[in-house]
């Protein structure tokens, strides 16, 4: 977080490339890795920064009510490592917490505190079962106060997130399902390739460069530094396949 702390504890973001619909000779999901946080005493974080939900009855797809055909979900395609700086894993805006980190990427809570969009669940294999999303976070078009209102109306980038903190897999990692949606007039459907695009735009915001989505592979890495409200964050990104 603060430059000195940062140097001691880098911050890792894991990104997942779930649906590389391109004709590339791999078909696995790719993941990047994000911020590193100091370990909280009560947490037990594996080296990779999170527990694979699938190893304990969970899934890397969200649970969406009322899909047709039934049983469809959206990909969880980014993970903030449980080995990130403790402050960043703290879900608050104060003291450089998670919400402030997202503000440094121009993402913020929903327009005027109003919740729009359906709730989705996720089973992170942590003994919480399927839990509702913690919140929806939207791109704020550079306006921390009202920008997410523009996102709600015009569409754009947003993500839902869940914390892996159940008793059987308490990593504290933040699991994010990012997608790029159409304007509200089009019922917020997802744009073509909108899961990969959303993920890579966020990495673009972290690194201030355009991410070449078609050329990403397992183990592609990026790093970047972002700031908001007097806090500076170092993010290391790792794309990982197989999830």
Ligand X SMILES: *[C@@H]1O[C@H](CO)[C@@H](O)[C@H](O)[C@H]1NC(C)=O
Q: Does 44 bind ligand X (CB under 6 A)?
A: no
Please tell me whether residue 114 binds ligand X under the rule CB under 6 A: no
- Is 167 a binding residue for ligand X by CB under 6 A? The answer is yes
- 242 sits near ligand X (criterion: CB under 6 A): yes
Site mask for ligand X (CB under 6 A), range 65-84, x = bound: --------------------
48 binds ligand X (CB under 6 A): no
* β-pairing verdict for 135-139 and 156-163: antiparallel
Q: Are 15 and 29 in contact (CB under 8 A)?
A: no
Task: Quote the least distance from Cβ 92 to ligand X, whole Å.
Answer: 16
Which pairs count as long-range contacts for 65-74, CB under 8 Å and 24+ apart, including other chains? 65/118, 65/119, 66/118, 73/120, 74/120, 74/177, 74/179, 74/190, 74/195
- Rule CB under 6 A: is residue 201 a binding residue for ligand X? yes
Q: How far apart are CA 17 and CA 200, in angstroms?
A: 9
Q: Is the dihedral of CA 100, 30, 165, 133 positive or negative?
A: positive
Among 44, 114, 186, 219, binds ligand X (CB under 6 A): 219
Task: For residue 42, state whether it binds ligand X (rule: CB under 6 A).
Answer: no
CA distance 229 to 223: 21
159 is a contact residue toward ligand X (CB under 6 A): no
User: Could you say whether residue 212 binds ligand X (CB under 6 A)?
Assistant: yes
Q: Please state, in angstroms and rounded to a whole number, the distance separating the CA atoms of residues 47 and 6.
A: 19
**Peptide bond before 69: cis, by omega within 30 degrees of 0?**
yes
Number of residues that bind ligand X (CB under 6 A): 25
Q: Which is nearer to ligand X, 192 or 215 (CB)?
A: 215
Binding site for ligand X (CB under 6 A): 28, 119, 128, 131-132, 139, 156-157, 165-167, 201, 204-205, 208-210, 212, 214-215, 218-219, 240-242
């Amino acid at each position: 977080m603060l430059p000195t702390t940062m140097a001691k504890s880098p911050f890792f973001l894991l990104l997942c490339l779930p649906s590389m619909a391109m004709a590339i000779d791999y078909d696995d999901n790719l993941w990047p890795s994000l911020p590193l946080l100091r370990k909280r005493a009560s947490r037990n974080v594996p080296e990779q920064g999170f527990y694979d939900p699938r190893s304990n009855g969970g899934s890397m797809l969200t649970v969406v009510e009322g899909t047709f055909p039934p049983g469809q979900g959206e990909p969880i395609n980014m993970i903030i490592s449980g080995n990130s700086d403790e402050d960043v894993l703290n879900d608050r805006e104060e003291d450089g917490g998670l919400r402030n980190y997202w503000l440094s990427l121009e993402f913020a809570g929903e327009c005027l505190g109003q919740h729009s969009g359906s709730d989705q669940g996720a089973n992170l294999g942590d003994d919480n079962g399927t839990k509702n999303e913690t919140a929806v976070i939207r791109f704020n078009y550079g306006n921390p106060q009202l920008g997410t209102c523009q996102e709600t109306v015009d569409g754009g980038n947003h993500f839902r997130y869940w914390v892996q903190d159940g008793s059987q897999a308490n990593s504290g990692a933040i699991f994010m399902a990012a997608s790029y949606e159409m304007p509200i007039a089009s019922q917020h459907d997802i744009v073509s390739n909108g899961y990969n695009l959303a993920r890579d735009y966020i990495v673009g915001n972290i690194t201030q460069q355009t991410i070449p989505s078609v050329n990403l592979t397992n183990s592609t890495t990026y790093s970047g530094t972002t700031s908001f409200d007097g806090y500076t964050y170092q993010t290391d990104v790792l794309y990982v396949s197989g999830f």
